[in-house]
Every structure is written in C-alpha cells, then in structure tokens.
C-alpha cells in the first residue's frame, strides 16, 4: 500500500502554525524565531516531510540547481575543481548537477538540452570550443554560463581560466634554457579539445622562436591515461635520434612516460627529461617527482562558482577572470647529457 504524501499543511498543523510560516522557516530560517524554527523542524522530522522541489521551482521559476558539464569523469583534475565548485555553490543554497560528454561536442549539445529541460539555473562548461548551437540555446533560454580552463580571447563569452598556450611555451622555454634541443611532445587528443591544441601550439611557438623544429614523428596524440602515456613513450624511445626531453599534455601522460622509461632502463632525468601539466597530487610523490605546470584547481572551481552566482543575481559579472599558473621544477628534468659534458 502506498504511503500517503506528507504535505506542507500537515507540517503546519502539527507545529501549530500556518503553512506560510512553515514555508518561511524552511526557506529563510533567519526570518523566524528560534522557538518557532524548533517547532517546525520537530514536525518535519516527525512526519518525514520532504519539500516538493518541483512545485517550489514552478512558483519561483528557479530550481537552485547549477550544472557542470565536463569532458570526462576519468580524470582526477576535474574532481578537485568540481569539489571547489560544489562547495561554493552549496554555501549559497545551490545544488550542483554533474554530467560529462567524453570530448564529444555533439553529445555536449544534446546533454545541455536535457539539462535545460530539467530546469537548471546555470551552466559551467570546460574550454572555449563548443557547438555554436549551444550558445544560441543558452541565449534563447536565458541560462547564464561560464567557460573554464581556458580564456576566450574574443570576449564574447564569460570565462575563468588561464592561457594554455603561454603556459606550454613556458615549459618548452625552460627545457631550451637548460640545453635541450631534441624535444618531443605527447599531447592529449586535440579533436574537440581546445586546451590540448593550445598547449601543442605553445610548444611549437617556443621551439620556432629558437629555430628548433618539432618533427611530426615527435608529436603523438594520446588519450589521458597512464597506459597511453607508456605506449607513446615507447614510440619516442625507438626514435633515432632519440629526443632528450618529452613534454606531456598532462600529468597522467607524464607518469606513464616516466614508468616506461624505468621499464626500459632509461634514467630520468639523466638520459630523458619529462614534464607534465596540472600538478596533480601524485606528481609530487612520483619517483623522481614530476616537473609540471601547477593549475590552481581550487581557485578555478571557486571563481567559476562565484561568476555563476553573480549572474544568477542578475549582475553582469567579470567577462574574463584570468588565473596565474606556475612552472614547478622537480626531479624529472635536467640538462641533456651533451650539455652536462
């Protein structure tokens, strides 16, 4: 037998107050007395009352829900940013709804339509490359959004992030400064991923500025996994001449590259320098510890949430929030053997 649904009026009756007082106590507890709040909370607990979110959303035209649509759940870097995003939203009374599109921009558009149908109030996206229909859809529905992990140089879309190209140039310039000329790159898949393309472009630009060619056989695209990093590094080790330094598109690929060098007896960094990108927690405990680019993940999630909250309040918000990234030099990089000699 189906248990009857407990209504707001039932809570009001048990607490000995009117329904409006119950509604106020649940939505704005600071507006009722401590004694009144205690009576309402006791009635809610006794009756196991759950507020009708759908009905409340219809009345207020808001679900107090923000969605984050990320490329994949199979990458720890998104977990840390999402955690900061959720905590900041939660402090303002918003719930975070998470979805992923696996680097498929067509799927991202379809998922966005579904999220809007479910009544989200705002949307956090990763990167600057999206189907133009997605932005048209958000504009038509009046859904505020913010792009993250990159900067929109056109100024058309609000964004919180950093310059991936400049950060990658900094890595390449560091390796050149300590003597490397035979440089290769294991990049993430560039299709549907503007961050990967920008990092690859940054490495190319740095090398060109020093009259160094990034040979086609020294560029490998790989999914973000340790296994893919190992496989790509195996290819690099078979090249003749072998590169003396490999720049990786993220820390996961770099960890795979370091492990593959260990397996082949190639000493890191004496015989091979390797760099990552993101500064995951594991980067500092890898042996040797990984030279990488530190992305301020907590600040990224917090700032993205703040920008969404500002827009949900009807304010314009900052068009661009640029975060600083740092090159963290650790044990996986050193001058090449020739430079040491």
Q: What is the pLDDT of residue 339?
A: 64
Helices (H) and strands (E) in the chain, counts: 13, 12
Delimit the CATH 3.40.50.2300 region(s) of the chain. 63-162+296-324, 164-295+327-340
Q: Is pLDDT at 1 greater than 90 in this prediction?
A: no
**216-220 mean pLDDT:** 97
**256-264 mean pLDDT:** 98
Which burial class, exposed, middle or buried, applies to 70 when counting CB atoms under 10 A from its CB (0-12, 13-18, 19+)? Answer: buried
Q: What is the pLDDT of residue 66?
A: 95
87: tokens are: 């905590």
Which burial class, exposed, middle or buried, applies to 25 when counting CB atoms under 10 A from its CB (0-12, 13-18, 19+)? Answer: buried
Report the CATH architecture of 63-162+296-324. Answer: 3-Layer(aba) Sandwich (3.40)
Q: What is the pLDDT of residues 109-165, one digit of tens each?
A: 999 998 888 889 999 999 999 999 999 999 988 899 999 999 998 889 999 999 999
* Fold annotation for 164-295+327-340: Rossmann fold (3.40.50)
> What pTM did the predictor assign?
0.81
């Amino acid at each position: 037998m189906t248990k009857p649904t407990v209504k707001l009026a039932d809570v009001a009756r048990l607490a000995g107050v009117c329904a409006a007082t119950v509604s106020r106590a649940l939505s704005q507890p600071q507006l009722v007395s401590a004694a009144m709040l205690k009576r309402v909370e006791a009635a809610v607990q006794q009756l196991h009352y759950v507020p009708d979110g759908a009905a409340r959303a219809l009345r207020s035209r808001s679900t107090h829900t923000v969605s984050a649509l990320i490329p994949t759940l199979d990458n720890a870097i998104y977990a840390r940013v999402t955690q900061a995003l959720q905590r900041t939203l939660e402090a303002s009374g918003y719930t975070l709804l998470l979805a992923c599109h696996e680097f498929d921009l067509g799927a991202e558009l379809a998922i966005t339509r579904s999220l809007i149908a479910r009544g989200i109030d705002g949307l956090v996206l990763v990167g600057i490359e999206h189907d133009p229909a997605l932005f048209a859809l958000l504009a038509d529905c009046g859904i505020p959004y913010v792009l993250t992990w990159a900067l929109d140089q056109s100024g058309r879309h609000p964004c919180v992030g950093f310059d991936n190209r400049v950060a990658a140039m900094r890595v390449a310039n560091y390796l050149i400064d300590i003597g490397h000329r035979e440089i290769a790159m294991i990049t993430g898949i560039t299709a549907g991923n503007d961050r990967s393309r920008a990092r690859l472009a940054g490495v190319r630009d740095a090398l060109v500025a020093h009259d160094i060619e990034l040979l086609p056989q020294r560029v490998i695209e790989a999914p973000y996994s340790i296994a893919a990093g190992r496989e790509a590094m195996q290819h690099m080790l078979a090249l003749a001449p072998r590169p003396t330094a490999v720049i990786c598109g993220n820390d996961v690929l770099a960890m795979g590259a370091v492990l593959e060098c260990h397996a082949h007896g190639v000493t890191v960094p004496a015989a091979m320098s390797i760099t990552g990108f993101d500064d995951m927690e594991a980067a500092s405990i890898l042996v040797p510890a990984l030279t990488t680019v530190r992305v301020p993940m907590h600040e990224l999630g917090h700032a993205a949430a703040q920008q969404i909250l500002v827009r949900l309040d009807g304010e314009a918000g900052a068009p661009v929030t640029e975060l600083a990234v740092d090159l963290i030099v650790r044990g996986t990089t050193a001058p090449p053997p020739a430079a040491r000699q």
